[in-house]
Amino acid sequence: MKKFIIYLIILLNSCSQKQRDLFESPEQLHDGIQTATLQDVGINESMIKSMHDSITAGVYPNIHSVLILRNNKLVYENYWPGHDENRATDFIGTVQQGRDSLHDIRSINKSIVSAAVMIAIDQGKLKDVKQRVFDFFPEYAKYDTGMKSKITVEQLLTMSAGLYWSDDDQIWYADSLKEKNIAHAINFILRQPLVDTPGKTFKYSAGCTQLLAQIVEKVTGLDIEKFTATHLFKPMGITNYQWTKEKNGLICAWGGLRMRSRDLLKFGMLYHNKGNWNGKQIISENLVNESLKKHIYTEEPYGYGYQFWTLVDTVENRIIKTVEATGNGGQKIEINREEDLILVITAGNYDKKNLKKTSYDVYLDFVHPAVIK
C-alpha cells in the first residue's frame, strides 16, 4: 500500500510537471523571436491544453508542430512524431519531429516566391506588378499574341493569368520529361492556351508561381534559391532549409522548400509586422499590404492576394479575418492582425481529402477561441 501511495504521488507530480511545462514560455533562443507565457498575452490556458491533448490523441490527425505567437511573443511551441514525406528524397515514413526538423512546406513556398517578387520591386529591378509577362520572355515571342500578350505579373501573383492549367499536366511531375531542360518547362507553361480573360477568373496554377520565380531570376541575375537566401532568409537569420530540384535543374518554386517551423513563424512575423523584421525593413509596407489584400474572389470563405489566401470566417458569432499561407498536407501560417496573432502548423496529411478535422480546424476550434475568451 505504501509503495502504491508513493507511485501515485510520483504520477501526480509528473502530470503536474507536464501541465506546468505546457504553460511555461517556450525556450528563448538567440533567433530574434521573443517568448512569453500564454497567460502573459491573455490566451486561455485550458483551451490550449485541450488543443494539445486533442492533437496528442489523434483527434486532429498527424499534426507535427504547432506554434502560437501573440503580441510578437512566442507563447506555445510543440512537436509530435508522425508519418511524413520528403519530396526532395521521396522518403515516406515516421519522423520524430523537433525544433530543428526540416519539413515540406509545399505551397507555402508560393508566398515566399511572392516575397521575392516584392523585394525585387523594392530594389528597382522590377518596375511594378503591371509589367507584361512576355516582356521578360522575348525568346517566346511566338506565344505573345492576342489576349495572351496582356498577361501581367500581377495576374500571375493572383492566379488569374487565364492560361489553361491542370495539375496533371505539370511538366516537372512527368517522369518522361524530367531530363528536359528548364527552358522546356517554361515553354510548356507559356504555350498553354488562353481559356479566360487575363485578370478575370481565379485558377490555381503552379505554373504561375514558376513563371514568377523565373522573372525574379531574369531581372536580378540570381535564381530564386540564391535571391531568397541573400535578400529574404539571411536578414532574418534563416540558414537551415532545403530546396527541391528536378533532374533538369528546375528549382521547384511552386512547392519544393523544406523549412523549420520557427523559420516559418519568422516569415509570418515579417508580414504581420508590415515587412519589418526586428527593425529592418525587408519588404516595403505598402507592398506587404497589397500582398495580403484580397484581389480576386475564389470560393467562399476564400479570396486571394499576391500568393496568399484571405479568409473571412465566424467563430462564436464573431467575424474573423485571416490571411493564410498554406500548403498541401496541412501546412499553415495563419496571420490575424486584429488579434495580433500568428499560428504555424505543420502536418503530414498530404493529398488527403475529407478529413474530419484539419489543421485549419485547430485554428477555429481552439486557437482563436482561446484568444477571445
What does the pLDDT look like over 74-97, one tens digit per residue? 999 999 999 999 987 888 899 999
Q: Which helix (H) or strand (E) holds 56?
A: helix 45-56
Quick one: pLDDT at residue 182? 78
Average pLDDT over residues 299-316: 93
Would you say 123 and 282 are in contact if contact means Cβ atoms under 8 Å apart?
Answer: no
CATH superfamily, domain 109-243, is: DD-peptidase/beta-lactamase superfamily (3.40.710.10)
Distance CA 184, CA 256 (A): 19
Question: What pLDDT does residue 168 have?
Answer: 58
Read off the pLDDT of residues 140-154 as tens digits, 9 standing for 90 and up. Answer: 999 999 999 999 999
pLDDT > 90: percent of the chain:
80
Domains 34-79+260-372 and 109-243 agree in fold: yes
pTM: 0.93
For residues 369 and 367, what is the distance between their CA atoms, to the nearest angstrom? 6
CATH topology of domain 34-79+260-372: Beta-lactamase (3.40.710)
Q: What is the arithmetic mean of pLDDT over 59-81?
A: 98
23 falls in which pLDDT band (50, 70, 90)?
A: confident
Please say whether the beta carbons of 213 and 207 come within 8 A.
no
8: pLDDT confidence band, cut at 50, 70 and 90? very low
Torsions phi, psi for 344 (to 5 deg):
-115, 130
Q: What are phi and psi of 110, to 5 degrees?
A: -60, -40
With beta carbons less than 8 A apart as the criterion, state whether 171 and 184 touch: yes
User: Residue 95: beta bridge partners?
Assistant: 82
Q: Can you give the residue ranges of every domain in the chain?
A: 34-79+260-372, 109-243
Contact 91, 72 (CB under 8 A): no
> Cβ–Cβ contacts within 10 Å for residue 345, how many?
26
pLDDT tens digit string along 177-191?
454 677 888 898 999
